[in-house]
Amino acid sequence: MRSVFSRLLTAACALAGTAAAVETLEVLGKDFVNSKTQERFQIIGVDYQPGGSSGFSTSADPLSNATACLRDAALMQRLGINTVRVYNLYPLLDHSECASIFNAAGIYLLLDVNSPLTNGSLDRTDPSGTYDVAYFHQVFGIIESFKNFPNILGFFSGNEVINQDSVYEVPAYIRAVQRDMKDYIAKNVNRTIPVGYSAADVEDMLMDTVNYLSCNLTNSTESRSDFFGLNDYSWCGNSSYTTSGYDTLVEDFANASLPAFFSEYGCNTVQPRYFTEVQALYGKDMIQSFSGGLVYEWTEESNDYGLVQLNDNGTVTLLVDYEHLRTQYDAIDLTLITESNSTQTSVEAVDCAADLISGDDFLNAFDLPARPSGVQDLIDNGYTKASVATMVAVTSTTIPETVYDASGAVITGIALKVEASDESNEPGGNTSGSTSSSDSSSSSSGSSTGTATGSAASSTKSGAADKLSTSAMLGGLLGALVATVATL
């Protein structure tokens, strides 16, 4: 009996050094589903690139500063999101703390594998000249860096690579990149991680892009997209389901064989943004064609799409768009959007054929480029130069920055809620923070900054993610310990 107690105690101590984790997601037909419960998962998310592309370098990226990640994860959790898209990442930086923080918050990550650095992306005007082994140091490096985290929803193989400026053969190169990514994952990762594409809303190319990337290719099934993101800004101001063209998109994607979602949305030509499209996107008319979406974007930059403003004095202002979006998220019928549907999950892809493509200027051949020299070796042996992130514990949950609402009042008590094991965040899940009418301040007079956190972005602070809140994970083992002790 004492040996049983000893084993349980050892197991409990071991768990004290791990972090509660969300459940992995998988693709079934045209749905994302929870791999454990098989419950449907709808993306309720935002796009995250503090500082824009200029805020990224080899010394700092959006997931390399734990202090900034704790701040943003807590504020995002309070907003009600369950997914973040991150565009520009550098594989040699350590992402352990940030990935662990978002995991603890119950927030999934959708990661672009490309970057604006040299050899960091596929050139739409010269794909053959940029599809080389140097490019895959970036691509495989990102996969390697984040492969250990259960909250990685998927990887984007490209963003708006296919458009009016791209050369004819680009679609074949996108499928080739996806083939190589999925082969790398199959060989070097202990689970399947979905790979997909994010498309520009170019009307005369959209469905050809979907059909080309989603069909089954007999000799290269792994090159098929697992999901499809659409960057869409057609709903502006107080538009409607029909005026915006959402009804047409629903018809277009009704027979899609993979999960489709808005990888960017949130037109800003009418301000402030009230995000009335949220009720349509998560309503009964759209949920059979779309799996949610990601609002563009988290931080206020020069393009004026931000939900929050990072001030030069280190404070944060929640803009009025943040509150409007939070109100819309709180009105989502969560039961409706998570109901599983066997019709959705049983959809199968059609075989690739030239007649799937309707445009004369869109590639209708499916012969994929051969792998460049050296890429097969990386797949077989793994990319070894990346900083492989590992799960670390999170106990520092209160954000140190002063936070203001849109009127300039201080919001106190905002903290990250460490989700129970297997739980993801949802609207209303974190209601921390309160405002006093006497707290109005001059915060808004501080100018906004376009950097993630200034020069400190590359150096994570110790203590932001170094110990564990384990209550959600240890309940079962502690109960077993108590029961065992009672018998001794």
| Per-residue model confidence as pLDDT tens digits over 162-180 | 999 999 999 999 999 999 9
Contacts of 205 (CB under 8 A, 6+ apart): 162, 163, 164, 359, 362
Residue 192 has pLDDT above 70, yes or no: yes
User: What would the CATH number be for the domain defined by 22-381?
Assistant: 3.20.20.80
Q: What is the mean pLDDT of the chain?
A: 88
pLDDT tens digits for range 37-92: 999 999 999 999 998 877 788 999 999 999 999 999 999 999 999 999 999 999 99
Sheet holding 31-34, edge to edge: 25-28, 31-34, 40-41
Q: In Å, how far are 14, 18, 225, 273, 354 from 124, measured between CA atoms?
A: 49, 43, 18, 33, 22
Please measure the distance between the N-terminal and C-terminal CA atoms of the chain and give it in whole angstroms.
Answer: 7
Query: With contact defined as beta carbons under 8 Å apart, do 318 and 414 qualify?
Result: no
Q: In Å, how far are 46, 308, 322, 447, 456 from 311, measured between CA atoms?
A: 20, 10, 16, 5, 15
Q: Residue 438: its pLDDT value, please?
A: 52
CA 257 from centroid of its chain's CA atoms: 21
pLDDT tens digits for range 393-435: 998 999 999 999 999 999 999 999 999 988 999 999 999 999 8
How far apart are alpha carbons 391 and 20 in whole angstroms? Answer: 9
Which of the four pLDDT bands, split at 50, 70 and 90, describes residue 158? very high
Q: Is the peptide bond before 272 cis (omega within 30 degrees of 0)?
A: yes
Which of the four pLDDT bands, split at 50, 70 and 90, describes residue 19? low
Neighbours of 345 (CB within 10 A): 15
Q: Which has the closest alpha carbon to 209: 177, 251, 256, 242?
A: 256
264 classed as catalytic: yes
Amino acid letter, 342 = S
Residue 443 has pLDDT above 90, yes or no: no
Query: With contact defined as beta carbons under 8 Å apart, do 290 and 256 qualify?
Result: no
Contacts of 167 (CB under 8 A, 6+ apart): 124, 125, 126, 127
Contacts of 405 (CB under 8 A, 6+ apart): 317, 318, 323, 411, 435
Q: Which has the closest alpha carbon to 177: 117, 209, 143, 131?
A: 131
26 classed as catalytic: no
Residue 437 has pLDDT above 90, yes or no: no
Q: Residue 20: its pLDDT value, please?
A: 66
Contacts of 312 (CB under 8 A, 6+ apart): 446, 447, 448, 449
∠ CA 329-41-352 to the nearest 5 degrees?
Answer: 125
pTM beyond cutoff 0.85: yes
Out of 26, 264, 297, 419, which one is annotated catalytic?
Answer: 264
Domain ranges of the chain: 22-381
pLDDT tens digits for range 318-375: 999 999 999 999 999 999 999 988 889 999 999 999 999 999 999 999 999 999 999 9
Is the model more confident about 483 or about 161?
161
